[in-house]
């Protein structure tokens, strides 16, 4: 069997609900059909090229984590059984979810210092107003995970904000719930990832208000602990002092290397970058779940 087609655009006979950087969402009865495409977004810019198998990894890995973490917080996942009258290519890359009103806050948890947090720390010794120990280097584990919220920018880049700023945006009660649940989710996933041979350096969650019988409840929405929303390092390499990512960081590193200004239009991605990114996504799925996403006959041909 040939590999899945790379899908960057979707079309169904269902009413359209929204289009994000990576996901297309449609109305289905009283719920939503959320489709993970193979689109790539880096530095908040969507690229022309798709990443083979990426959508299937995002969708399937999110479902894995949604099922694993239901006891921590309710999430929007209902089923991945897609009606037979919908296009065949939606299989593996789609799920039916409950409607929720997105909460306008990116819930970021960091257990290790790297990326934008490292740059902020090097300038001020703090991350989002949180004082950190002196002398930390790229990749160092933090004494305990920290919650570093950011804005959800509809256009442009998200911005790190302080706890006080976040509380003003969403309210103190919602903030405290999201902070506590995010750290609990991160700790659960960090432990599982380590057993699977991976270091979960940081991750980003999204939450929403689900209205059930007139009662608004905060639930986990969007995706969960995927290579798009998380930074995974190979533990074997980390233990030797190297940071080797099984996530979107591979693409970011390439883009940093060519000195792209991180503004549209994006540069074209070389074939080897596309293929190596795809391999990393598939490897992350296999290590975390213990299963191949596809049978051998459906494995990538590169």
Residue-wise pLDDT tens digits, 53-102: 999 999 999 999 999 999 999 999 999 999 999 999 999 999 999 999 99
CATH number of 16-100+267-298: 3.30.200.20
Average predicted confidence (pLDDT) for the chain:
93
3-state secondary structure 79-107: ECCCCCCCCHHHCCCEEEECCCEECCCEE
- H or E segment and range at residue 183: helix 172-195
**Extents of the domains making up the chain:** 16-100+267-298, 103-256
Which pLDDT tens digit goes with each residue over 256-298?
Answer: 999 999 999 999 999 999 999 999 999 999 999 999 997 533 4
Q: Are 186 and 230 in contact (CB under 8 A)?
A: no
CA distances from 10 to 63, 165, 222 (A): 20, 37, 18
CATH number of 103-256: 3.30.470.20
Kindly state the average pLDDT of the residues 44-58.
96
Two structure tokens written together for 20: 């994000």
């Amino acid at each position: 069997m040939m590999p899945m087609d790379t899908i960057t655009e979707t079309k169904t006979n269902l009413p359209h609900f929204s289009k994000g950087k990576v996901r297309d969402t449609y109305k289905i009865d009283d719920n939503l059909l959320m489709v993970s495409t193979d689109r790539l977004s880096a530095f908040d810019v969507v690229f022309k090229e798709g990443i083979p198998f990426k959508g299937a990894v995002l969708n399937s890995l999110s479902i894995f984590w949604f099922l694993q973490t239901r006891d921590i917080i309710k999430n929007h996942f209902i089923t991945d059984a897609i009606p037979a009258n919908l296009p065949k290519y939606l299989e593996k890359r789609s799920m039916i979810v409950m409607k929720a009103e997105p909460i306008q806050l990116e819930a970021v948890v960091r257990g290790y210092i790297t990326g934008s947090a490292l740059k902020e720390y090097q300038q001020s010794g703090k991350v989002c107003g949180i004082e950190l120990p002196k002398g930390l280097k790229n990749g160092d584990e933090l004494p305990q995970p920290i919650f570093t919220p950011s804005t959800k920018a509809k256009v442009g880049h998200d911005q790190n904000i302080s706890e006080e700023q976040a509380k003003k945006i969403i309210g103190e009660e919602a903030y405290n719930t999201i902070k506590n649940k995010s750290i609990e989710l991160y700790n659960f996933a960090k432990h599982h990832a380590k057993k699977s041979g991976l270091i979960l350096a940081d991750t980003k969650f999204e939450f929403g208000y689900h209205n059930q019988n007139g009662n608004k409840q905060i639930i986990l929405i969007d995706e969960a602990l995927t290579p798009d929303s998380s930074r995974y390092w190979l533990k074997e390499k980390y233990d030797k002092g190297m940071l080797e990512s099984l996530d979107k960081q591979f693409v970011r590193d390439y883009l940093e290397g060519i000195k792209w200004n991180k503004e549209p239009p994006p540069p074209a991605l070389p074939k080897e970058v596309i293929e190596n990114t795809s391999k990393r996504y598939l490897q992350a799925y296999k290590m975390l779940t213990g299963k191949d996403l596809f049978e051998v006959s459906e494995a990538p041909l590169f």
